[in-house]
Amino acid sequence: MAWCPGLSGSGPVGWEVVEEALWAKAERGLRELRGLRKPEVNDIFDRALYLGPPDFHVVNYHRHTPIAAFNPGAALEGDRLLIFVRLVFEFYGYVSSVGLAEAPLDEVLEGRVEVPLETRIILWPRELWEQLGCEDPRVQKAPDGRWLILYCAHGYYRLAGERVRTDALALAELDGSFRVLRRGYFSVRKGESVWAPSNRDSAFLALRGHEATLATRPVVRGRKLCWRAVADLEDLVMPEEGLEPVMAPEEWESHMGWSTNAVRLSGDEWLIGWHGVSDLDLAYRNGLAVLDSEGELLAVSDYVLAPRGLYEEYGDRCMTLFGDGLVRYKELLIWVGGVCDACVGIFTVELDKAMEALRWLRG
pLDDT of 295-305, one tens digit each?
999 999 999 99
pLDDT digits (tens, 9 = 90+) for 261-280: 999 998 899 999 999 999 99
Q: pLDDT at residue 3 above 50? A: no
96-100, 163-167, 308-312, 345-349: the lowest-pLDDT one: 163-167
pLDDT digits (tens, 9 = 90+) for 146-181: 999 999 999 998 766 778 888 999 999 999 999 999
Q: What is the band of 334 on the pLDDT scale with cuts at 50, 70, 90?
A: very high
Q: What is the mean pLDDT of the chain?
A: 95
pLDDT digits (tens, 9 = 90+) for 63-116: 999 999 999 999 999 999 999 999 999 988 999 999 999 999 999 999 999 999
CA dist 350 and 45 (Å) reads 9
| Closest CA relative to residue 248, chosen from 268, 279, 225 | 225
* Cα angle 286, 223, 312; round to 5: 25
Q: What is the mean pLDDT of residues 317-337?
A: 98
CA dist 269 and 272 (Å) reads 10
Cβ contacts of 255 within 8 Å, gap of 6 or more: 223, 224, 249, 276, 277
pLDDT at residue 14, rounded to an integer? 76
pLDDT digits (tens, 9 = 90+) for 37-53: 999 999 999 999 999 99
CA dist 1 and 137 (Å) reads 22
**Helices and strands per DSSP (H, E), number in the chain:** 4, 26
CA dist 77 and 240 (Å) reads 35
7 burial type by CB count under 10 A (0-12 exposed, 13-18 middle, 19+ buried) = buried
| pTM, full prediction | 0.95
CA dist 171 and 151 (Å) reads 6
296 burial type by CB count under 10 A (0-12 exposed, 13-18 middle, 19+ buried) = middle
pLDDT at residue 160, rounded to an integer? 62
Q: pLDDT at residue 10 above 80? A: no
The number of angstroms, rounded, from the C-alpha of 110 to the middle of its chain's C-alpha atoms is 26
Q: pLDDT at residue 238 above 50? A: yes
Q: What is the band of 6 on the pLDDT scale with cuts at 50, 70, 90?
A: very low
Q: pLDDT at residue 7 above 70? A: no
Domains of the chain: 15-360 (2.115.10.20)
